[in-house]
Amino acid sequence: MEILKGLSSVSGKVVYNSVEETGDCCTLRYHGKFTIAKGDFIQSYSFWSDVSKMNYEGFLSVEDLDYQVEETTLGGLVIDNINAFKDMLTKSGLTNVAKSIEIDHSEIMNFCCRRVSDSKTVKRLFKAPFKVYNCLTDAEKKVVKLEHIIGKFDKSSDYDKKQFGIETESEDNIPTEEELITYRETLT
- Note the pLDDT tens digit of each residue in 162-185: 888 888 888 888 898 999 998 898
Residues 22, 37: Cα–Cα separation, whole Å: 42
- Quick one: DSSP state of residue 7? P
Report how far residue 50's alpha carbon sits from residue 34's, in angstroms, rounded to the nearest whole number.
Answer: 17
Maximum distance among all Cα pairs of the chain, rounded to whole angstroms: 88
Pairing of strands 59-74, 131-132: parallel
pLDDT tens digits for range 76-125: 999 999 999 999 999 999 999 898 888 888 888 888 888 888 899 999 98
What is the per-residue pLDDT for 13?
Answer: 82
- The count of other CB atoms within 10 Å of the CB of residue 159 is 8
Query: Mean pLDDT throughout 147-153?
Result: 92
